[in-house]
Amino acid sequence: MDNETESLPTADSENYTLGYGDGAMGWMKARTVEKHGAFMLPWLKPGLQLLDCGCGPGSLTLGFAQRMPGGRAVGVDREPSQFAEAQVYAAEHGVDNVEFLQGDVYQLPYADASFDIVFASAVLGSLARPYAVIEEMYRVLRPSGIIGLKEFDHQGDLFYPLNPVLEHSLELYMRIRAHNGHEPAGGRRLKEFLHEVGCEVLSVDASTDQRTTREELMAFVGLNNRLQSEVLEAQYLELGWCQPGEIDEHAKAWEAFARDPRAISVSAWIQAVGRKL
């Protein structure tokens, strides 16, 4: 589909923009099936086989497994350190129907039609070839199986009140995503992807993560500032997009934003469900 070709990056060569610092991990670990994955709840049944593509810290994979007794949830991620804690949690809490595996979502290590449900959250927007991954997900799904997708769409985000420093910080983030070949507004394309791969589109919804209290804003800004200093600053410096110390100034501006009694922050997501015909 569109301009994707086979010569473009794979997991081995692709620069994953968010990296693996504690800031980004903190965000993902907090995701639960009840909230972040609620749109999947009607499809989770005992005995089903589910694949979570790009599972990260695996909080969603574990939640899926716990809702599918007698079934199995498998999390695949290119970076095994991401799901190490989830493996320990599963062992300690007797969750014996979950597995985690290092693997590349461009080349899933499964035969055709292996799963009843194939899922990806916050992955397609971090890939140069999202449609190639949808095709892989479709391949490993059994006929009449379900694909569940959730993706952020940064063009729907809202921060108020902004100032030039914060605007510059946001602009750098959008620029690095584009530089790494990733789609910052991937959410709006989920329906298109499901349609193009040949699924019956069952539902498409928008949702938001919002922070409106001082506590929520401080927590958000804390994780965001860690992501900036742990992962993004080095990329910006290498590309000559910022000066040493500049990201510290951005961090102070974000802290002031969080303390501003007028402040609100809203992140936009799209979630979609399709059925393989």
Ligand X SMILES: C[S@@+](CC[C@H](N)C(=O)[O-])C[C@H]1O[C@@H](n2cnc3c(N)ncnc32)[C@H](O)[C@@H]1O
Where does this chain bind ligand X (CB under 6 A)?
Answer: 11, 16, 18, 28, 31, 54-56, 60, 77-79, 82, 104-106, 121-123, 126-127
> Whose Cβ is closer to ligand X: residue 14's or residue 233's?
14
Pairwise CA distance, residues 218 & 30, whole Å? 15
In sequence order, which residues have a C-beta less than 8 Å from that of residue 65 and are 6 or more positions away?
50, 71, 72, 73, 90, 95, 97, 98
> Whose Cβ is closer to ligand X: residue 77's or residue 183's?
77
In sequence order, which residues have a C-beta less than 8 Å from that of residue 250 and are 6 or more positions away?
165, 166, 168, 169, 225, 228
Report the DSSP beta bridge partners of residue 119.
52, 148
Find the shortest distance in angstroms from Cβ 45 to ligand X: 21
Look at the block and give the residue holding tokens 């194939």: 118
Find the shortest distance in angstroms from Cβ 19 to ligand X: 9
Asked if residues 121 and 37 have their Cβ atoms less than 8 Å apart, the reply is: yes
Asked if residues 32 and 60 have their Cβ atoms less than 8 Å apart, the reply is: yes
Report the DSSP beta bridge partners of residue 100.
75
**Which of 37, 103, 95 shows the shortest CA–CA distance to 68?**
95
> Whose Cβ is closer to ligand X: residue 48's or residue 86's?
86
Select the residue whose beta carbon is closest to ligand X and give its number.
56
Find the shortest distance in angstroms from Cβ 244 to ligand X: 27
> Whose Cβ is closer to ligand X: residue 123's or residue 221's?
123
Find the shortest distance in angstroms from Cβ 125 to ligand X: 8
Find the shortest distance in angstroms from Cβ 78 to ligand X: 4
**Which of 154, 193, 210, 208 shows the shortest CA–CA distance to 272?**
193
Pairwise CA distance, residues 16 & 78, whole Å? 10
> Whose Cβ is closer to ligand X: residue 98's or residue 263's?
98
> Whose Cβ is closer to ligand X: residue 125's or residue 145's?
125
> Whose Cβ is closer to ligand X: residue 137's or residue 253's?
137
CB count, 10 Å around CB of 30?
A: 14
Find the shortest distance in angstroms from Cβ 128 to ligand X: 9
Find the shortest distance in angstroms from Cβ 166 to ligand X: 22
